[in-house]
Chain A
Amino acid sequence: MSTGGKGVADLGVPERRDGPDAPGEGGCAAAEPAGCGPAMTRRELMRHAAVVAAGSWLASCDEATREAFFQKHFRELTPEDRRRVIARLETDAKKRTGVDVKIADTSARPGVEFGYALDLSRCIGCRRCVEACVRENNQSRDPQVRWITVLEMDKERGVDLSHADAYYDRETVPAEGHFYMPVACQQCRRPQCVNVCPVGATWKEPDGIVVVDYNWCIGCRYCMAACPYGARRFNWREPHLPAEEVNPQTHYLGNRPRPKGVVEKCTWCIQRVRKGLYPACVEICPVGARKFGDLRDPNSEVRYVIENKRVFVLKEELNTQPKFYYFYGV
Chain B
Amino acid sequence: MPWRRIHLFYRFFEGSLRLWLSGDRWYWLWIAFLALCIGTGAAGYAEQLRGGLGVTHMRDPVSWGFYIGNFTFLVGIAAAAVVLVIPAYIYHWKPIKEIVILGELLAVSAIVMALLFVAVDIGRPDRSWHLMPFIGRLNFPTSLLAWDVLVLNIYGALNFVIVTHIVYRAFTGREYSKRFALPLILFSIPAAVSIHTVTAFVYNGLPARPFWNSAILAPRFLASAFCSGPAIILVMLQLLRRYTSVEIKMEAIWKIAELMAYAMFINLFLFGAEVFREFYSGTHHLLFTEYLFEGIDGHNTLVPYAWGSVFCSVTAFLLFLTPKTRQHPVTLNLGLLLIYSGVYIEKGVALVIPGFTPSVLGEIYEYSPSRVELQVAAGVFGVGFLVFTLMLKVAVPIMTGRFSLEKSPARAGRRAPGPAPEPEVAASGAA
Chain A residues close to B by CB (< 8 Å): 12, 14-21, 23-24, 27-30, 42-43, 46-47, 49-50, 54, 69, 73, 76, 143, 149, 151, 161-164, 166, 183, 192, 195-201, 216-222, 224-230, 232-238, 260-263, 318-319
Choose among B121, B124, B203, B359 the residue with the greatest number of A CB atoms under 10 Å from its CB. B124
Q: Is B303 an interface residue (CB 8 A)?
A: no
CB contacts under 8 Å to A, within B368-386, are: 370-372
Are A234 and B208 interface neighbours, CB within 8 A? no
Choose among A14, A73, A197 the residue with the greatest number of B CB atoms under 10 Å from its CB. A14
Additional A-B contacts beyond A50-B132, A230-B363 (9; CB < 8 A): A14-B59, A24-B50, A164-B361, A166-B363, A196-B143, A216-B127, A216-B137, A233-B60, A237-B52
The stretch of B144-152, B314-322, B323-331, B334-342 that contacts the partner chain: B144-152
Count contacts on B: residues with CB < 8 A to the other chain.
62
Known A20-B50, A192-B207: A162·B59 in contact at CB below 8 Å: no
Known A30-B126, A318-B208: A20·B52 in contact at CB below 8 Å: yes
Q: Which residues of A contact B203 (CB under 8 A)?
A: 225
Interchain CA distance A49-B372 in the complex, whole Å: 35
Q: Which residues of A contact B129 (CB under 8 A)?
A: 50, 54
Q: Which residues of A contact B243 (CB under 8 A)?
A: none
Are B137 and A200 interface neighbours, CB within 8 A? yes
Q: Is B365 an interface residue (CB 8 A)?
A: yes
Interchain CA distance A14-B334 in the complex, whole Å: 40
Contact of B146 among A46, A69, A163, A198 (CB under 8 A): A198
Q: Which residues of A contact B136 (CB under 8 A)?
A: 199
Q: Which residues of A contact B144 (CB under 8 A)?
A: 196
Q: Is B128 an interface residue (CB 8 A)?
A: yes
Are A28 and B126 interface neighbours, CB within 8 A? yes
Are B284 and A198 interface neighbours, CB within 8 A? no
Query: In angstroms, how far is the closest chain A Cβ from the Cβ of B286?
Result: 10
Query: In angstroms, how far is the closest chain A Cβ from the Cβ of B67?
Result: 11
Query: In angstroms, how far is the closest chain B Cβ from the Cβ of A25?
Result: 10
CB contacts under 8 Å to A, within B32-62, are: 47, 49-62
Known A216-B127, A216-B130, A218-B124: A235·B52 in contact at CB below 8 Å: yes
Q: Which residues of B contact A222 (CB under 8 A)?
A: 143, 145, 202
Are A261 and B124 interface neighbours, CB within 8 A? yes
Contact of A220 among B58, B122, B355, B361 (CB under 8 A): B122
Interchain CA distance A263-B123 in the complex, whole Å: 9
**Hey, what's the 0/1 contact readout for B81-119 against A, CB within 8 Å counting as 1?**
000000000000000000000000000000000000010
Known A18-B372, A28-B126, A260-B123: A224·B63 in contact at CB below 8 Å: yes
The residue in chain B whose Cβ has the minimal distance to the Cβ of A199 is B130
Q: Which residues of A contact B208 (CB under 8 A)?
A: 192, 225-228, 318
The residue in chain A whose Cβ has the minimal distance to the Cβ of B207 is A318
The residue in chain A whose Cβ has the minimal distance to the Cβ of B356 is A225
Are A143 and B362 interface neighbours, CB within 8 A? no
Q: Which residues of B contact A73 (CB under 8 A)?
A: 130, 137
**Hey, what's the 0/1 contact readout for B248-291 against A, CB within 8 Å counting as 1?**
00000000000000000000000000000000000010010000
Interchain CA distance A43-B49 in the complex, whole Å: 30
Are A195 and B362 interface neighbours, CB within 8 A? no
Q: 8 tightest CB-CB pairs across the interface, nearest first?
A: A219-B123, A20-B51, A261-B123, A14-B59, A236-B54, A228-B208, A237-B54, A198-B145
Q: Is B161 an interface residue (CB 8 A)?
A: no
The residue in chain A whose Cβ has the minimal distance to the Cβ of B132 is A50
Q: Which residues of B contact A218 (CB under 8 A)?
A: 122-124, 127-128, 130-131
Q: Is B138 an interface residue (CB 8 A)?
A: yes
Q: Which residues of A contact B130 (CB under 8 A)?
A: 73, 199, 201, 216, 218
The residue in chain B whose Cβ has the minimal distance to the Cβ of A24 is B50
Q: Is B1 an interface residue (CB 8 A)?
A: no
The residue in chain A whose Cβ has the minimal distance to the Cβ of B296 is A162
Query: In angstroms, how far is the closest chain B Cβ from the Cβ of A68?
Result: 9
The residue in chain B whose Cβ has the minimal distance to the Cβ of A192 is B208
Choose among A24, A50, A222, A233 the residue with the greatest number of B CB atoms under 10 Å from its CB. A222
Are B131 and A236 interface neighbours, CB within 8 A? no
Contact of B52 among A15, A227, A238 (CB under 8 A): A238
Are A23 and B50 interface neighbours, CB within 8 A? yes
Are A230 and B359 interface neighbours, CB within 8 A? yes
CB contacts under 8 Å to A, within B199-235, are: 202-203, 205-209
